[in-house]
């Protein structure tokens, strides 16, 4: 039997085990997929020493912290600086990134032929790295918002007037994710209207407070569920390539 899994913390919200195990059942694949919540990334070596994995997904907060534990990075992970897929082959662990593919495909389905004047990316963690890589590939200009002024625009400087420079806002932070559903990024929601596209990488709950604020103001909104499906399909392709 082949063994797959996902590492991160927390993982009670994770969709991946049920999706992959159902895929294995339908396709007759002799494999299992489990969640492995790690309190600290330093627990990773013991995990992979104990179980002979064929592949692992990586989620918040370890997409960047996992890199020193890997033998190499493929071009996608090198370009992004974050890993969400680990392939095990010939005794080596290689980091890949399928988030860029998943986000890019989902975003194009979302905005269609609409013109994006400029995107605003909320957050500067590992997930944001995939988002800005996809935006760069699509030729979409962007700014990043962070609690750290050195990494982008600070939230305190993001006024209603400043928000008018953008029409696509992407939340890459965990704010609003289950079980902390009463939180949201601190942006001037009163400035939003029907001209805005709001994309939240979170998929549980279906409508975060971030998206709900947009819906109340006529924004077009999308959560991260479709992106998750696309990146999972890409991960399966990576694990099974020759």
Where in the sequence numbering do the catalytic residues fall?
63
Rounded Cα distance between 1 and 211, Å, is 41
Contact 87, 56 (CB under 8 A): no
Beta strand ranges found along the chain (DSSP E): 2-8, 31-37, 53-58, 72-73, 85-89, 92-96, 119-122, 142-146, 153-154, 168-171, 197-200, 220-222
- How many helices and strands in the chain, by DSSP H and E? 8, 12
Per-residue b/e over 119-146, b at no fewer than 16 CB within 10 Å? bbbbbbbbbbbbbbbbbeeeebebebbb
């Amino acid at each position: 039997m082949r063994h797959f899994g996902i590492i991160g913390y927390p993982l009670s919200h994770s969709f991946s085990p049920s999706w992959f195990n159902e895929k294995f059942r339908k396709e007759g694949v002799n494999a299992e997929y489990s969640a492995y919540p790690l309190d600290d990334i330093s627990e990773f070596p013991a995990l992979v020493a104990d179980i002979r994995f064929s592949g692992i997904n990586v989620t918040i907060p370890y997409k960047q912290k996992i890199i020193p534990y890997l033998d190499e990075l493929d071009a996608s992970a090198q370009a992004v600086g974050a890993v969400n897929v680990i392939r095990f082959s010939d005794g080596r662990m290689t980091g890949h990134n399928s988030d860029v593919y998943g986000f890019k495909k989902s975003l194009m389905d979302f905005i269609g032929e609409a013109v994006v004047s400029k995107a605003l990316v909320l957050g500067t963690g590992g997930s944001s790295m995939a988002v800005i890589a996809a935006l760069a590939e699509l030729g979409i200009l962007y700014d990043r918002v962070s609690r750290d002024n050195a990494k982008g625009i600070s939230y305190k400087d993001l006024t209603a007037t400043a928000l008018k420079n953008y029409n696509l806002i992407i939340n890459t932070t965990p704010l609003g994710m289950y079980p902390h559903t009463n939180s949201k990024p601190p942006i001037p929601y009163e400035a939003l209207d029907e001209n805005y596209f709001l994309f939240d990488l979170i998929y549980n709950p279906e409508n975060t407070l971030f998206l709900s604020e947009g819906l109340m103001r006529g924004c077009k909104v999308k959560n991260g569920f479709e992106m998750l499906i696309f990146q999972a399909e890409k991960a399966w392709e990576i694990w099974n390539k020759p």
